[in-house]
């Protein structure tokens, strides 16, 4: 093998793994993210149709919501196996928000299960429902805060000498808590998940009253999403000019903005004209373009501003074995997922 080919492979494999991680995160946003959004609408269920709204949301989420977390687990496993330095650094520097996020995921899942199978008395249902809804609201915000903190370059890898000079607050709290940018990304993530859930629920609804209700909520959350996206750009321009430059300059960035705008306009039009299947596809496309736009902005950095994907990658043999194992696992995972959806998502329509 020539040195040129070896160099090319060295550059290609880490990027292939990183691309797979973004692809898996994309699946988690479209499936697990919509489940979190369902919890948000469960919290805001009001009026005489309150119980019917919650039944519709529960039917749309269950019983496959647990399986959707496999995509987030895959991201964590790939980060741990193929970028161990980045995994160790992020798990240390962001251990507070990551712990809060994991507790939120566990509380949300536990409360949803207990609400389904526990006593149907009102006070019991309210207790589990409150925990489920609050955890569904909080967890996406913290997920976005973590992503925003990394994207802004607030958690660089520093030397031991430098770390000895910073306090606990400066190292573990200030990077994600003081700047408004991570919180803007957190609120953007929450609005995106709520928008996805409302768009999906227009298709899941079995009567026009519910379709119109979630149509209005999809439109409202779409407006909130656009406002928060613009706000995030304004904050990025003020706080992090390099990040703002990556988000707004260059042919690829402008292309991602263009296709995201087309998807958003299609979603608006489809919701307004009651083409709900089209609206669901457009919402999924909009969310995917947003995510890949962020990933492209950060490329080739894994930990901005100075650690690239290649620099933090594990040895090549580890990446090769991981990708090989992942290819075999995918042949089992994807058919299983398709079968799961066919069993639980086509049964009701066939009855």
Give the pLDDT confidence of 26-85 residue by residue, as tens digits. 999 999 999 999 999 999 998 888 889 999 998 888 767 778 889 999 999 999 999 999
Helical H runs in the chain?
3-28, 34-43, 50-61, 65-68, 70-82, 84-93, 95-117, 122-151, 160-163, 168-172, 174-177, 180-204, 208-239, 241-248, 251-272, 276-298, 316-345, 347-350
Q: How confident is the model at residue 347 (pLDDT cuts 50, 70, 90)?
A: low
Q: How confident is the model at residue 251 (pLDDT cuts 50, 70, 90)?
A: confident
C-alpha dist (Å) from residue 331 to 12, 76, 307: 23, 20, 33
Give the pLDDT confidence of 194-247 residue by residue, as tens digits. 999 999 999 999 899 999 999 999 999 999 999 999 999 999 999 888 888 888
| Mean pLDDT calculated for residue range 278-303 | 93
Question: Is the pTM above the cut of 0.85?
Answer: yes
Q: How far apart are CA 204 and CA 60, in angstroms?
A: 7
| Mean pLDDT calculated for residue range 286-301 | 91
The SS3 assignment for 303 reads strand
Of 204, 247, 231, 167, give the one whose Cα is nearest residue 349. Answer: 204
| Cα-only R_g, the chain | 21
Q: How far apart are CA 140 and CA 72, in angstroms?
A: 13
The SS3 assignment for 307 reads strand
Of 23, 114, 25, give the one whose Cα is nearest residue 62. Answer: 114
Residue 301: strand pairing partners: 308
Task: Tell me what pLDDT residue 63 has.
Answer: 67
The SS3 assignment for 302 reads strand
Q: How far apart are CA 156 and CA 167, in angstroms?
A: 16
Give the pLDDT confidence of 176-193 residue by residue, as tens digits. 999 999 999 999 999 999
C-alpha dist (Å) from residue 291 to 24, 27, 29, 30, 256: 11, 11, 9, 10, 10
Task: Tell me what pLDDT residue 348 has.
Answer: 52
Task: Tell me what pLDDT residue 106 has.
Answer: 92
Give the pLDDT confidence of 295-319 residue by residue, as tens digits. 988 888 999 888 999 999 999 999 9
| Helical axes 208-239 vs 276-298, angle rounded to 10° | 20
Give the pLDDT confidence of 98-123 residue by residue, as tens digits. 999 999 999 998 998 888 887 778 78
Give the pLDDT confidence of 129-169 residue by residue, as tens digits. 889 989 999 999 999 999 999 999 999 999 999 999 999 99
């Amino acid at each position: 093998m020539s040195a040129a080919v070896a160099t090319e492979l060295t550059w290609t494999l880490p990027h292939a793994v990183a691309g797979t991680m973004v692809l898996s995160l994309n699946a988690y946003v479209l499936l697990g993210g919509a489940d979190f959004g369902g919890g948000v609408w469960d919290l805001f269920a009001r009026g005489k149709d309150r119980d019917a709204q919650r039944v519709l949301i529960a039917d749309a989420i269950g019983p496959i919501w647990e399986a959707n977390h496999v995509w987030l687990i895959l991201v964590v496993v790939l980060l741990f196996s193929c970028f161990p330095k980045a995994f160790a650094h992020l798990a240390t520097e962001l251990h507070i928000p990551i712990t809060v996020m994991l507790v939120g995921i566990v509380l949300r899942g536990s409360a949803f299960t207990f609400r389904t199978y526990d006593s149907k008395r009102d006070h019991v249902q309210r207790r589990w429902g409150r925990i489920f809804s609050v955890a569904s609201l909080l967890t996406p915000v913290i997920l976005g805060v973590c992503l925003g903190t990394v994207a802004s370059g607030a958690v660089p890898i520093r030397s031991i000498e430098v770390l000895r000079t910073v306090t606990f607050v400066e190292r573990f709290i200030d990077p994600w808590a003081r700047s408004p940018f991570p919180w803007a990304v957190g609120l953007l993530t929450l609005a995106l998940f709520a928008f996805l859930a409302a768009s999906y629920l227009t298709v899941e609804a079995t009567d026009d009253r519910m379709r119109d209700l979630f149509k209005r909520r999809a439109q409202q959350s779409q407006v909130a999403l656009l406002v928060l996206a613009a706000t995030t750009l304004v904050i990025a321009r003020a706080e992090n000019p390099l990040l703002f430059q990556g988000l707004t300059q260059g042919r690829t960035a402008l292309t991602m903005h263009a296709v995201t705008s087309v998807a958003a306009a299609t979603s608006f039009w489809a919701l307004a004209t009651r083409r709900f299947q089209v609206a669901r596809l457009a919402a999924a496309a909009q969310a995917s373009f947003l995510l890949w736009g962020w990933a492209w902005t950060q490329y080739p950095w894994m930990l901005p501003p100075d650690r690239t994907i290649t620099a933090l990658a594990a040895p090549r043999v580890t990446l090769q074995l991981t990708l090989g194992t992942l290819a075999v696992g995918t042949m089992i995972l994807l058919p299983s997922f398709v079968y799961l959806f066919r069993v639980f998502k086509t049964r009701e329509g066939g009855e």
